[in-house]
Amino acid sequence: MNVALAPARTSTPRTNRLEARAGGLLGDCRRAFHSFAELDELAENLRILSLNAELAAGRAGDKGRAVRALTQYTRELVNRLAQIQAEMEALRGRTFAFSSTILLGLQHMSMFERAVDLVGGSGPGARVAERAFAAATERMVDTLDGMAAAVTELSRRAHAIEEVVSQSDSIATNIAIEAAAAGVHEKEFRTVADTMRHYVDDLRLMIEEASDAVRRAANRGEALRRLGLDCLDELKGFG
């Protein structure tokens, strides 16, 4: 990406706008990841519950056949949660790496933009400062593209957890239905259903706490990326 050099400026509005919005984006990302901090613990609780439920289904014989199938499906959901958790950890690392790069890039942009103002004029010094500022802006836009993509992935992972919550809730309901016809095993199966609903409620609360931060991060990420592109367009306009 080539950018024409701009004339000297008397302030740093671009860097200031980027810095203000980047701070909000990074804060939203931290809140979102914090909301999912107990995802692995909930997944493990569901896994243990499914194993205990399968043992109970085995003791119930024919009356536990449907429950056994439901618990096997529960383990598939647990495996899905474990996969999402691993993806979240990798995404967390990527996001924080982008965050560090953004903060460093903002420092460079601010320094080069101030240098342009201090040098002024159109001599060699001014052209060097302008060129450095333009290069720093290009690098920032590339980083913002990566950050916006990472936030989009975060939103997708949150949606995947919502799907697991919905499916787990359906399993709990079906186990409760089977419990009603399980005779002496009814109480045991109903306990499984109630416990699963408790974990589902915890997952749902996790999603609710994270959803606002994820949504805000996605909006801020895209707005920040557009702002970076606007900075480049302004630089081109001076060519």
Q: Which two tokens stand for residue 194?
A: 């109630």
Distance CA(39)–CA(80), nearest Å, equals 12
DSSP labels, 135-187: HHHHHHHHHHHHHHHHHHHHHHHHHHHHHHHHHHHHHHHHHHHHHTT-GGGHH
Q: Which two tokens stand for residue 138?
A: 């290009």
Distance CA(154)–CA(21), nearest Å, equals 19
Nearest to 12 by CA among 89, 83, 115: 115
Size of the chain in residues: 239
Whether 193 contacts 15, CB under 8 Å: no
pLDDT of residue 75: 92
Could you tell me if residue 2 is inside a domain? Answer: no
Half-sphere exposure of 157 (CA within 13 A, CB side): 27
Distance CA(165)–CA(90), nearest Å, equals 22
Distance CA(218)–CA(190), nearest Å, equals 40
Could you tell me if residue 5 is inside a domain? Answer: no
pLDDT of residue 8: 37
Could you tell me if residue 106 is inside a domain? Answer: yes
Could you tell me if residue 146 is inside a domain? Answer: yes
Could you tell me if residue 54 is inside a domain? Answer: yes
Distance CA(114)–CA(133), nearest Å, equals 9
Tally of domains within the chain: 1
C-alpha separations of 125 from 82, 179, 234, 239 in Å? 55, 81, 21, 17
Q: What is the DSSP letter of 121?
A: S
Angle in degrees, 0-180, between the axes of helices 65-119 and 39-59, rounded to the nearest 10: 170
State the distance between the two ends of the chain, measured CA to CA, in whole angstroms.
Answer: 14
Could you tell me if residue 4 is inside a domain? Answer: no
pTM of the shown model? 0.79
Could you tell me if residue 215 is inside a domain? Answer: yes
Tens digit of each residue's pLDDT, the chain (239 residues): 443 334 334 345 667 777 877 888 888 888 888 888 889 999 999 999 999 999 999 999 999 999 999 999 999 999 999 999 999 999 999 988 988 888 888 888 888 777 777 776 666 777 777 778 778 888 888 888 888 888 889 889 999 999 999 999 999 999 999 999 899 999 999 999 999 999 999 999 998 888 888 888 888 887 877 777 777 777 665 54
Which residues span the domain enclosing 36? 13-234
Nearest to 143 by CA among 67, 53, 78, 232: 232
Could you tell me if residue 1 is inside a domain? Answer: no
If 0-12 CB within 10 Å is exposed, 13-18 middle and 19+ buried, where does residue 197 land?
middle
